[in-house]
Chain A
């Protein structure tokens, strides 16, 4: 009798144990680790915060069910083809330093055993990090570095979702051409003589120096006269000699490729030196950061910047509106070019993993090379995401496109970006010439 009780107790215990742990074993899906390398401290820390928030929001949508967001990844809990595996982001801070970025990539691959990498914003850091990923055969997706050379290296483990600077710079020259042809909303045809002279100042890392080269090439191609082209250090705390040098060239159009703190310093110095070009255009980055407009206020009225996301898009694209509302609730700011692209970068990771149904690098590689995400799934105004698998630009998304916005005073008195280019989606008349400081 006693042994029967013992057996019963044993069976009961066994049942309890299986009851407690059994279902958990079934439920405990694999976790997918994505190493995310961004500049979380240093001059670009504010951009880093935006990038992080964008990637975190995408992970949140991928890991939970959000029925009201019309996006496939928001309808499933985790990666469906991987048994509901959740995305875990491991953030690392590269401080804008390419060597540190490469070290962090090694740590993520060897110590954290990540399944893939996302990053790194600075093209210079993306360059070294992607070289490490290539060496170890770990897939890497880049959402926001725009130096054209990154996809010209024939890397097999590197994919870039954002359009690159060649496209953006071409957009700018198309806008300048449009101004002379009367295609811009609110601007009557302007004689080319009036905007012929150009001067550019770009920060001198991988990204800025390439933009500078592109401006040189395209000003020739489009028949503009590049009178001055200079490079400066993004960490500069004084740009007065640079601005004097730009002014000395007496340009009609001033073009910049700047990160956040240097973009603010550049505009402040232009203001102090009473520069009055007819057009000021920034190649994204610093020129569209929230602190750029918060710090400089109404003095930026009329300044143009290229981007891939403007809050005005919300009116055109309801999906962008819904995601933007979640982002705003989380951070207090609207999505911007950096955060929207970080979001899209991680979203691409999710779709590739879903398609691969595996975390083996070779399966991910196959899935990435055959992915085709339609534009209606994205918050950015692109036709979709499809990577080039042959030719010169291996791993480049061929369906991306850019926007050019202009700071204009909004109804509530704040400064906001209006879409000026492409001409067919412009949201306001362009202010031309620049009112001056």
Chain B
């Protein structure tokens, strides 16, 4: 039973972490229909920001979040005004290839500046700490904090989008940019804001996950793929969708754990020999494929 409980708890926690990472992608897509391939690279920048800020100042890695947010927001706004704004005028293919190019640029810049080696945080209040819930369920403290902050971030963004004037202007821009412009909403500024907030959320997530995940210039690839799966499952542009889809994907990555539970509970010898952990991300991509075929709008999608 402890195997089952451990897997469920781990899946839920990892799911919330993944949802946090995907939040920015869904905001940017929701507002301006841009598929941002460089999303994982912004995460990588957030991770380096958290790591270097903590190392340079000696403060706890958890306290580097404001720096990561500032870096992310500025980067998002700069990217929008310096690059994305021009892409929006081109055909959809130019937008896809444009953000793909941005991904390659950022990844290779990081490679040039930081080198390809893994860097990890080894100090911090929560680094390496874990606590036992009982029944053999062990929760790594860092993941628990990131999961908690993920819930907070989702609530904050949801409230901002639905309750504040600026948020409503953003939503209006997302629904009908031309109409919004006629109503006096500065859509250009709204787009920049969406980029700022979108990138800031992912750099914050980066600064948090560097507490338990080593960073290198290629770390974004895996997360971009997973973030796309989550956003597709939840529905492109849907904020609650991204949260629930994140949890579903987190639980999907725990399929090997559920498999172990059946193996050892019912003592099925042959099941122990199936290399389930090697296939953990296969289930995620399989889910992505199935969603794309059966329900391209996703679970909560309002755009297609």
Contact = CB atoms under 8 A, between A and B. Distances in A.
B140 A272 contact: yes
B64 interface: no
A45 B277 contact: no
B214 A229 contact: no
A237 B213 contact: yes
A46 B213 contact: no
Given A241-B253, A244-B7, A245-B257, A271 B277 contact: no
A227 interface: yes
B277 A242 contact: yes
A216 to B, nearest CB: 9
A205 interface: no
B138 A272 contact: yes
B132 to A, nearest CB: 7
Contacts of A45: 115-117
Contact of A231 (B3, B115, B120, B278): B278
A81 interface: no
A244 B122 contact: no
Contacts of B256: 241, 245
B276 interface: yes
B117 A237 contact: no
A45 B120 CA distance: 15
Interface in B130-145: 130, 132, 138, 140
Given A227-B272, A261-B118, A272-B138, A245 B277 contact: yes
A227 B268 CA distance: 11
Given A41-B115, A274-B132, A295-B122, A244 B257 contact: yes
A261 B118 CA distance: 7
Contact of A248 (B130, B253, B254, B264): B264
B122 A272 contact: no
Nearest to A250: B264
Size category of the binding interface on chain A: 20 to 34
B273 to A, nearest CB: 7
A274 B138 contact: yes
Interface in A234-282: 235, 237-238, 240-242, 244-245, 248-249, 261, 264-265, 268, 271-274
A248 B218 CA distance: 31
A91 interface: no
Nearest to B223: A237
Interface string A31-53: 00000000001110110000000
Nearest to A42: B116
A398 interface: no
B260 interface: yes
B10 A272 contact: no
A249 B257 contact: no
A412 to B, nearest CB: 21
B187 interface: no
B219 interface: yes
A273 B130 contact: yes
Contacts of B253: 241
Contacts of B117: 43, 45-46, 261
A230 interface: yes
A245 B262 CA distance: 12
Contacts of A232: 277-278
A228 interface: yes
B148 interface: no
Given A41-B115, A244-B10, A272-B140, A204 B278 contact: yes
B303 interface: no
Interface string B178-219: 000000000000000000000000000000000011101011
Residue of B212, B219, B276 most packed against chain A (CB within 10 A): B212
Contacts of A240: 10, 14, 140
Contacts of B272: 227-228, 249
B297 interface: no
B273 A229 contact: yes
A218 to B, nearest CB: 17
Interface string A5-48: 00000000000000000000000000000000000011101100
A70 B261 CA distance: 60
Nearest to B222: A237
Interface string B223-262: 0000000000000000000000000000001101100110
B128 A244 contact: no
A95 B213 CA distance: 21
A237 B21 CA distance: 15
Contacts of B264: 248-249
Nearest to B272: A228
A243 to B, nearest CB: 10
A273 B129 CA distance: 9
A248 B3 contact: yes
Contacts of A42: 116
A237 B219 contact: yes
Interface string B154-170: 00000000000000000
B90 interface: no
Contacts of A268: 128
A244 B8 CA distance: 12
Contacts of B263: 248
A41 B275 contact: no
Contacts of A46: 117
A45 B7 CA distance: 34
Contacts of A272: 128-130, 138, 140, 212
B6 interface: yes
Which of A230, A248, A295: most chain B Cβ within 10 A?
Answer: A248
Contacts of A237: 118, 213-214, 219, 222
Q: Which 3 A-B pairs have the closest CB atoms?
A: A261-B118, A248-B260, A41-B116
30 contacts: A41-B115, A46-B117, A204-B278, A227-B272, A230-B278, A231-B275, A231-B278, A232-B277, A233-B278, A237-B222, A238-B213, A240-B14, A241-B7, A241-B10, A241-B253, A241-B280, A244-B7, A244-B257, A244-B260, A245-B256, A245-B257, A249-B260, A249-B272, A261-B117, A271-B128, A272-B128, A272-B130, A272-B138, A273-B138, A295-B120
Interface of B: 3, 6-7, 10, 14, 115-118, 120, 122, 128-130, 132, 138, 140, 212-214, 216, 218-219, 222, 253-254, 256-257, 260-261, 263-264, 272-273, 275-278, 280
Given A41-B116, A244-B10, A274-B138, 11 more contacts: A41-B115, A45-B116, A46-B117, A204-B278, A237-B222, A238-B14, A244-B6, A248-B263, A272-B129, A274-B130, A295-B122
